[in-house]
Structures are given as structure tokens and as C-alpha cells.
Amino acid sequence: MSQSLSIVLFSGTADKLHAAATLAAGAAVMDRPVNILLQYWALDAFRSDRLDVNHGLAWDAMADGASRPVKGTAAIPWLETFRMAKELGAISILACSGSLDVLGIDSTALDPIVDDSGGIAAFLLAAEDGQILFI
């Protein structure tokens, strides 16, 4: 069986969400199981009432002379990429219960693309035989 790819997704800016979605999508269509753990600001981005807001860019974008997203930040298709990837491959998206608690988010407030909420052990067990990245 193909080696799984697990991503601890902490960042909530559009660029990092898009980067994570691209990794997840690529792995999924290469038949690698993908596990994503949403923490903090990534978790916050998956709230149903916040999906469409402009999630902005990482601080790196503030550097002098940094390139700007040609079509604007709001057009970065992070969510669309996650959705399509989930349709095409085995991607499990877990909301970190610790982050839900710290941020006071109820799991029912999350978009249905999030499969479940769980703790760190559940995620690490699922991630055991593959690679783990932190974004």
C-alpha cells in the first residue's frame, strides 16, 4: 500500500492553505492516503461562516518588492482544491479537539468537508506508517 501523507495544518492564510491543499491533492491522486489535522488558524478557516473571507497572506508577503498574487488574494483557490482533492482521493480531515476548545469553536460550526474531530493520539495513530508535515 502507498505510504500515507499526514499534514498537521496550523496556518490559516490563503497561501499556506493553498500550499497544503496542493500537497494533499497531489498525494491523493497518487493513491497515497492523506490525513489532515486542523489546528488553530487552519481550523478557524474551516468555520462555515468564514469560508469565503479573504484569508490573507503570510508575513513573507510583506517583504519589500514581494510579488503579489496576480488575481488577488481572495482568488487563491485553497478550498476548491481541498474539495476536489477529497472527491478524487482518500483524504481524511480531522478537527483538533484541543484547538476547538482553545478557540471556543463548536464542531457543528465547521464545514462538512471536515470529517470528524479528534485528539492527537488518534491522528498520530493514523499517521504512524507515513510522513508527517507541519504547515
Partner 1 sequence: MTTITTPISDTELMALESAKVVDARGSACPGPLLEAKKAMNSVQIGQVIEIWSTDPGTKSDIGAWSGKVGHTYLGYLPGEGYERVFVVRQK
Nearer to partner 1, 22 or 97 (CB): 22
Nearer to partner 1, 71 or 121 (CB): 71
Q: With beta carbons less than 8 A apart as the criterion, state whether 81 and 25 touch.
A: yes
Tell me which DSSP letter residue 131 carries. Answer: E
Strands lying side by side in the sheet with 5-9: 116-118, 91-96, 34-38, 5-9, 131-134
Q: Could you tell me which stretch among 29-37, 44-52, 57-65, 100-108 binds partner 1 (CB under 8 A)?
A: 29-37
Q: Could you tell me which stretch among 4-12, 51-59, 87-95, 124-132 binds partner 1 (CB under 8 A)?
A: 87-95
Selected from 3, 29, 107, 119, the binder of partner 1 by CB under 8 A is: 29
Per DSSP, helices labelled H in the chain are: 14-29, 40-45, 78-88, 97-103, 120-127
Q: Count CB neighbours of 129 within 10 A.
A: 11
Strands 91-96 vs 34-38: parallel, antiparallel or unpaired: parallel
# residues near partner 1 by CB under 8 A: 12
- Over the window 9 to 28, marking each residue x when it contacts partner 1 by CB under 8 A and - when it does not, the resulting string is -------------x--xx--
**Residues 47-76 contacting partner 1, CB under 8 A:** none
The CB-of-79 to partner 1 minimum distance in angstroms stands at: 14
Which residue in 87, 68, 66 sits closest to 76, CA to CA?
Answer: 68
Nearer to partner 1, 25 or 127 (CB): 25
Interface positions with partner 1 (CB under 8 A): 22, 25-26, 29-31, 81, 84-85, 87-89
